[in-house]
Amino acid sequence: MPGSLEGPERVATIRSSLQKYQPFIKPEPASEAELNLVHEPTMVARLRSRRLLLETVLIAVGGAIQCARAAVEGRPAFGLLRPPGHHADQSGSWGFCYVNNMAIAVRKLRQEADLRWVVIVDLDHHVGDGTQRIFASDSEILVRNVEAVEREEYLEKVQSVLQVIRKAELLAVSMGFDTYERDLGGLLKTEDYTLLGSWLRQASERLCEGRRFALLEGGYYLPDLGKNVLAFCEGFE
């Protein structure tokens, strides 16, 4: 989308800030059948009419699945991928999203690795409404969003969301960086992302032997986006 906030520069600037995590793993594309784990056939058919978009989306989903798989195998992972996914539900999408990377990865891993209890914590500035709707009637997948109008309140809410989780076999994080003080949300400082990452790490250690992964959702303030993602990864790793 020319002129869109959601452009390839986002991934490029983050990538250059994450050099210490080389080598990056380039994912195998997902299959259309994997999109069908979450999305209705009409939605997949619509994507099929835009070949390049479909190919891009399949690579992002493949990356999400690979992150979830690494997490289940005991290796924490961060998915540097776009387009984001948390505003996509079974039959539609908005907000730069086309398919729900997170939901597909969670469904896939539940099949593949015989997982039951999964917690998805969404820390994007925007509520992950697609993810919420997809799992609304699923009592074994808990989806939690955090909303606040100022920084301390936000940080406190994240802590209390994590503290009350009692059961998880995998902790999945939809990680947005548009909560940043100079981004759309106007809330958090760079060092806060290290805190968030380390709280999530600690929660996963308490709940599920550290099995955790995070996927990139939003985050549009390019000058500081890379350092914020690096700050997060340093807490999360």
Comparison of 39 and 125: residue with beta carbon closer to Zn ion: 125
Q: Give the shortest CB-9-to-Zn ion separation in angstroms.
A: 17
- Please choose, from the candidates 107, 100, 90, the residue with its C-alpha nearest in 3D space to the C-alpha of residue 41: 90
Would strands 118-122 and 170-175 be described as parallel, antiparallel, or unpaired?
Answer: parallel
> Which residue is listed with tokens 């807490």?
235
Q: Using CB atoms, what's the residue nearest to Zn ion?
A: 218
- Here's the x/- map for Zn ion, 174-213, by CB under 5 A: it reads as --x-x-----------------------------------
Is 124 a residue that touches Zn ion (CB under 5 A)?
yes
Is 83 a residue that touches Zn ion (CB under 5 A)?
no
Comparison of 97 and 208: residue with beta carbon closer to Zn ion: 97
Would strands 77-79 and 141-145 be described as parallel, antiparallel, or unpaired?
Answer: unpaired
Cα(68)–Cα(58) distance, rounded to whole angstroms?
Answer: 15
Cis peptide preceding 8, ω within 30 of 0? no
Could you say which of 126, 133, 211, 212 contacts Zn ion (CB under 5 A)?
A: 126
Cα(101)–Cα(1) distance, rounded to whole angstroms?
Answer: 19
Comparison of 72 and 177: residue with beta carbon closer to Zn ion: 177
Is 125 a residue that touches Zn ion (CB under 5 A)?
yes
Comparison of 10 and 39: residue with beta carbon closer to Zn ion: 10
Q: Give the shortest CB-178-to-Zn ion separation in angstroms.
A: 4
Alpha helix (H) ranges present in the chain? 8-17, 32-35, 41-48, 51-72, 101-113, 129-134, 151-163, 190-208, 222-236
Cα(125)–Cα(86) distance, rounded to whole angstroms?
Answer: 11
**Stretch near Zn ion under the rule CB under 5 A, chosen from 17-25, 138-146, 170-178, 192-200:** 170-178
Could you say which of 83, 85, 130, 218 contacts Zn ion (CB under 5 A)?
A: 218
> Which residue is listed with tokens 């939809």?
174
**Stretch near Zn ion under the rule CB under 5 A, chosen from 72-80, 150-158, 168-176, 202-210:** 168-176
Comparison of 200 and 207: residue with beta carbon closer to Zn ion: 200
- In the complex, which residues of this chain contact Zn ion (CB under 5 A)? 124-126, 176, 178, 218
